[in-house]
Amino acid sequence: MAIRRSLIAGNWKMFGTRAEAEHLLSALKTRIGRPTDREVIIAPPFTLLETASRLLAGTSICLAAQNLHWEPQGAFTGEISGPMLKDVGCSHVILGHSERRQYCGETDEQVAQKVGAARRDGLIPIICVGETLAQREGGETTALISRQVRTALRQVQTNFSSLIIAYEPVWAIGTGKTATPAQAQEVHAAIRATLAELSDRATAEMVRILYGGSVKPDNVDGLMAEADIDGALVGGASLQAEAFARIIQFR
C-alpha cells in the first residue's frame, strides 16, 4: 500500500480583506511552523491571491485558487484562467465545489473541462464530488459519486497519482453536520475503487482523497484515523488561525 502524505486545505470561500488575510496568515505561520509530514494549502478568493502569495513566500504552505476557466485566455468577462493563476503563484486549484455546482450551475462536463485545463496549465486540481441529503437517503451515493469521478477525469489519460479528490457531502457543508468517520471512509473507499477501475490499484493507492464537510478541531482526529481519508478540505474553520492550526496538527 502506498504511503500518502496527509493534506489539509483551507477554502476561504468569499471571505477576507487584505488586512484580514495578513493577520490570519501571520497567526497561522506562527502556530504551525514548517510541518514536514503533512501538506498545507490555502485557497483565498481571487482578490487575495497576490497578497497570500507574498505572505507565503519562503514557507511550506501552498497556494490554491477556488476556480478557473477552461480557456487560457479570451473574451470571458469575470473569469480567471490557469496561466493567470500560475502567474500569481498558485500550484493548486479547487474545481467542482458543491457551491459552484449549486449556485453557478456547473455541470460534471464543465468540471471535466476545467480539470483538463488545470492539467494543461500545470496546476494540481482538487476535484470535489459529493451528494445531497436526498441522494444519500435515496441510496444514490456510491453510483452518483462514481459517475462524478469518472466524468471529471474524462480528459485525464495519465498520471492520476498527482490528482486530489475531495469528498464533500453537500448535506454537511456549512450545516454543522458531519459524516461519521465510518460514513466518510465508506465513500472514500468507493472513490479509490473507482480510481482503480480507471487506472490500476497501485495508482489509485497513491491518490489523496480529502474529506470536506464541517471539519473542526473536535472531529478531525477521528476522520483522519480512517484508512482512506488522507486529509481535509476545511471551510469556515480555516478562517480561524487557532482552529485551523489544530486541524493541521491532527493526531
Please report the DSSP string for 200-214 in residue order.
Answer: -HHHHTTSEEEE-SS
- Determine phi and psi for 124, rounding to 5 degrees: -90, 120
Contact between residue 186 and residue 167 where contact means Cβ atoms under 8 Å apart: no
Cell output for 30: 506562527
pTM for this one?
0.96
So what's the pLDDT on residue 119? Answer: 96
Compute the distance between CA of residue 79 and CA of residue 92 in angstroms, rounded to an integer: 17
Residues 6-248, CATH architecture: Alpha-Beta Barrel (3.20)
Given 39, 97, 99, 188, the catalytic residue: 97
So what's the pLDDT on residue 174? Answer: 74
Cα dihedral sign for 143, 139, 7, 226?
A: negative
Cα dihedral sign for 142, 144, 150, 155?
A: negative
Given 131, 168, 188, 226, the catalytic residue: 168
Which regions of 76-225 does DSSP assign to beta strands (E)?
Answer: 92-95, 124-129, 164-167, 208-211
The answer to whether residue 188 is catalytic is no
The parts of the chain modelled with pLDDT lower than 50 are none
The answer to whether residue 168 is catalytic is yes
